[in-house]
């Protein structure tokens, strides 16, 4: 836990968020500034600053998060696919320094990024 981290504060329920899933290791909640009709974030409860800090000790946690995504996406109405994004560090455009996976979708095809 990081005292000042905004996502740690959401985990501690100090800041309200549209929580859509919670278990002992993870939390998923709606993004406050959605870029598409469906946009939520999946985070570990463990404060990990970024994907660049992941090592083999996090294998089980990262696997669990990946395995949660299809069910969460379906429950949010992703009928025809979705996009997952992990921004990492300054160059990667990361703004909140607590590892998070964006899950983004809607009715229309998202613009190509690559
Ligand atoms: P990043 O650029 O770090 O990958 O994305 C951070 C995301 O967190 C952004 O999409 C932003 O809208 C979202 N976000 C930032 N602060 C809050 C907050 O207090 N509550 C919620 N629900 N989302 C937040
Ligand atoms: Zn944190």
CA dist., res. 53 & res. 42, Å (int): 17
The answer, as to whether pTM is greater than 0.90, is: yes
pLDDT of residue 1: 73
Exposure class string for 51-66: b at 16+ Cβ within 10 A, else e: beebeeebeebbeebe
pLDDT of residue 86: 98
Which are the catalytic amino acids? 100
For residue 98, the ligand closest to its alpha carbon is 2
CA dist., res. 42 & res. 63, Å (int): 13
Q: Which CATH number does 6-105 carry?
A: 3.30.428.10
Please identify, by atom number, the ligand 1 atom nearest to the C-alpha of residue 30: 22
Q: Is the ipTM of this complex over 0.95?
A: yes
pLDDT of residue 107: 87
From the first residue on, what is the mean pLDDT of each consecutive set of 10 residues in the chain (114 residues)?
Answer: 91 98 98 98 98 98 98 97 98 98 95 90
């Amino acid at each position: 836990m990081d005292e000042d981290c905004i996502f740690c504060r959401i985990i501690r329920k100090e800041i309200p968020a549209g929580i859509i899933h919670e278990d002992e290791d993870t939390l998923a909640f709606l993004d406050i500034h959605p870029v598409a009709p469906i946009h939520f974030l999946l985070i570990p409860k463990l404060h990990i600053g970024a994907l660049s800090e992941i090592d083999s000790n996090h294998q089980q946690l990262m696997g669990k998060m990946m395995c949660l995504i299809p069910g969460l996406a379906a429950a949010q109405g992703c009928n025809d696919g979705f996009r997952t994004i992990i921004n990492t560090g300054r160059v990667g455009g990361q703004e909140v320094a607590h590892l998070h996976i964006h899950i983004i979708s809607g009715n229309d095809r998202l613009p190509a990024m690559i």
